[in-house]
Amino acid sequence: MLNTDETLNRRAKALSVALRERDAGTSAHCNRVVDLALKLGAKRGLSNPELDLLRISAELHDVGKIGIPDSVLLKTGKLSDDEWATLKTHAAISQRIILELDLPNAQMAGFVVRHHHERYDGGGYPDGLAGDAIPLLSRIIALADTYDTMASGRVYRKPVPHGKIMETLSAERAHQHDSSLFPDFSSIIEQSAYKSAQP
């Protein structure tokens, strides 16, 4: 008989496969975010249970994009205000999907995933949380997520060079992201296979 953690891991993996079938690009992005987030979490001294929760949350942070129409998710042009509002629902959708795992860690993972697009200055979504009110694991995922989104590009935008990404992240410290995480992330990404290949 599987224990709770093993069951959660298997269900999380099943959701990851479903996301890969829906959108291989988003699935690959989630895998890169897992690696970067775990390295940052370890450098910050998270416990093994915290790292397990971080891994599952990072793996599933975009699973809610399963519920976003192709006309929005795969659009090659600029999103309209209504389309952008639709895309932003993916964090709350991710939480609802994860809660259906109906296991103790699913509650915590859902909470972390819901808040990975909050901004440190309170200007994010879905709840406008600010500062330390944003869960630490959400803040870690947010930083890894932002870097990889810029580094890997999207259907509507080419990959951004590493130096430009770091300039942007540095300028956004304490606004978009937790500034205390930036030095550790900076050292991690310089050694990472996921550092932007653009000069």
- The string of pLDDT tens digits covering residues 44-93 is 999 999 999 999 999 999 889 889 998 998 888 889 999 999 999 999 99
Active-site residue identified among 13, 39, 43, 65: 65
CA 18 – CA 50 distance, rounded (Å): 25
- Rounded distance between C-alpha atoms, residue 122 and residue 99, angstroms: 25
Output the pTM of the full model: 0.89
Q: Answer yes or no: are the C-beta atoms of 54 and 142 closer than 8 Å.
A: no
How would residue 125 be classed by pLDDT, with cut points 50, 70 and 90?
A: very high
CATH class belonging to 4-190: mainly alpha
| Distance, CA of 12 to CA of 54 (rounded, Å) | 12
Residue 1 reports pLDDT greater than 60:
no
| Other beta carbons less than 10 A from residue 69's beta carbon | 11
Catalytic site includes residue 65? yes
